[in-house]
Amino acid sequence: MFSLFSSRFRRPLVAWFRRHGRSLPWRETADPYAILVSEFMLQQTQVATVLPYYERWLARFPDFAALARADESAVLHAWQGLGYYARARNLHATARAVRENFHGVLPRDAATISTLPGVGRYTAGAIASFAFDQAEPIVDANIARLLSRLTNLHTAIDTAAGRDRLWQTATALLPRSGGRLHNSALMELGALVCLPRRPLCAQCPVRQFCAATNPAELPRKKTRRHIVRLDESHAFVLCRKRVLLEQSAARWRGMWILPRLETAPRAQPLLRLDFPFTHHRITLSVFAQPYSPNERQSWISLGVLDRLPLPSPHRRALAQLLPRQKLCSTFSGA
């Protein structure tokens, strides 16, 4: 029996990574700011989606100072389309905290990094290892799946006991130095070989260390939360090349959306579209509606719409509605 917790495990893992690991822009840099940006963007978002955003973001906000100086509207606009906007607000707050508390330089140790806004245990370990090459454990979804199979873990990984086991395993696997290479290799093996439904065990460089008896059944999780369906109604009011929009104070705080309607009118909507939001499935219905603007709403000139932060469903709704409307629809009080 080969021990998982020895250099005999790490050697083939790292050799495989050197040969098969993808070249990704955040792997080609040791700039702590760029790595931090990539880690925020990659939370709950796939690599292919993140790539163009990452390049644009670094061109627009190249360092902590530039991001700390930016106003929230510019930050949300640059994030637009990536979703989970709390990440953008936290990244912005982190840049300001680095400027104000650490003289503009990201601290090197995971414990201090974890005090920054929106930085949890995983992100702190990822930055400490990827930016500063420290031997810090990390457990993301790919590593969780890989470790649960390597150790044949049948405890649900979204319980405290399951999480503890994974972090203990990740810690025990660490080399004394070279955290960057080690963690990158674990992550990549989870992403490319130890796949969720059909792990490619025949191609796995560490299969002789793997204890999984039925890998496709792992990791175990508690029962999933049910998807909740929601219907939401909004108004579309257009006049003299301006559209009425509302600055959201709840979901998508600070972004611009079509004005909310408390109740759905007894009329056919101009448009209906579905989108997911966390564990909700939302049907957005948009009505042509006489409307009196309130204090959170503003008439926005069509010429500046592209420069405002709008969540994707509302931007999609406007993209479909604007070409088919006369330039004045029903409204009151403009």
Q: Which residues are catalytic?
A: 39
List contacts with ligand SF4 (CB under 6 A): 146, 149-150, 193-194, 199-201, 204, 206-207, 210, 212, 215
* Closer residue to ligand SF4 in complex, CB, 3/332: 3
Contacts 24+ apart (CB under 8 A), 275-283: 275/312, 275/313, 277/251, 279/225, 279/226, 279/227, 279/228, 280/227, 280/228, 280/229, 280/230, 281/227, 281/228, 281/229, 281/230, 282/229, 282/230, 282/231, 282/232, 282/313, 283/229, 283/230, 283/231, 283/232
* Backbone φ and ψ of 115, nearest 5°: -85, -5
* Closer residue to ligand SF4 in complex, CB, 200/267: 200
Q: Percent helix, strand and coil across the chain, each rounded to 5?
A: 45, 15, 40
> How far is it, in rounded angstroms, from Cα 118 to Cα 101?
16
Question: Shortest Cβ distance from residue 262 to ligand SF4 (Å)?
Answer: 51
* Closer residue to ligand SF4 in complex, CB, 70/143: 143
> How far is it, in rounded angstroms, from Cα 199 to Cα 63?
39
Question: Shortest Cβ distance from residue 177 to ligand SF4 (Å)?
Answer: 24
Question: Shortest Cβ distance from residue 155 to ligand SF4 (Å)?
Answer: 17
Question: Shortest Cβ distance from residue 17 to ligand SF4 (Å)?
Answer: 14
* Closer residue to ligand SF4 in complex, CB, 191/286: 191
* Closer residue to ligand SF4 in complex, CB, 98/194: 194
Question: Shortest Cβ distance from residue 19 to ligand SF4 (Å)?
Answer: 16
Handedness of CA 324, 267, 254, 54 (dihedral sign): negative
